[in-house]
Amino acid sequence: MSVPLVIVAAVARNRVIGRDNDMPWKLSSDLKRFKALTMGKPLIVGRRNHAAIGRPLPGRQTIVLTRDRGFSEPGVHVAHELADALGLAEALAEEMGADEIVSAGGGEIYALTLPLAARMRLTEVHALPEGDVLFPEYDASQWRETAREDHPSGPRDEFPFSFVDLVRERGLKRT
């Protein structure tokens, strides 16, 4: 892939990212960051995550990756294999002038795209909510933190959180 793949996710300390097809917290700051990070870019999302969002997001091109061969919806692109989704995202990125392709969840999509991601832009939610969707485990030694911003909870942010940017380390020396 010539256009880098970036994972954008909000993840609790216990790896929870969802509950009952919704987010298990209210974080206005995270939603604003998500919009800023994804605007003008192709997004790869799973069908359930897309259904939870409820519509194609304006200013972005949504690619729904689903095993459901009968799925179609106006305003979104559909792929049934990761390679097809990535190929479509690459073509859309070129067409849009985007510098990244975004993996925007849910859990299965993150698990599929994690091995291919060049960067992760995470919101680390400092909480332990109950949930039924988890972010995949990953080897932290393969990633280098390049930025961190800590934020307290507040009137529009239910929990304290940190915006964390990670870059995959290439050519790590193994001992």
- What's the pLDDT score for residue 70? 96
- What's the pLDDT score for residue 170? 75
Q: What is the dihedral of CA 60, 9, 6, 135, to 10 degrees?
A: -130
Q: Which domains does the chain have, with CATH numbers?
A: 5-168 (3.40.430.10)
> Are 96 and 41 within 8 A, CB to CB?
yes
Rounded Cα distance, 17 and 28, in Å: 15
- What's the pLDDT score for residue 94? 97
Q: Which of 11, 9, 13, 62 is nearest to 37 (CA)?
A: 9
- What's the pLDDT score for residue 53? 92
pLDDT tens, per residue, the chain with 175 residues: 689 999 999 999 999 999 999 999 999 999 999 999 999 999 999 999 999 999 999 999 999 999 999 999 999 999 999 999 999 999 999 999 999 999 999 999 999 999 999 999 999 999 999 999 999 999 999 999 999 999 999 999 999 999 999 999 975 444 3
Model-level pTM greater than 0.85? yes
What is the helix (H) or strand (E) element at residue 44, kind and residue range? strand 42-46
SS3 of 2, please?
Answer: coil
SS3 of 132, please?
Answer: coil
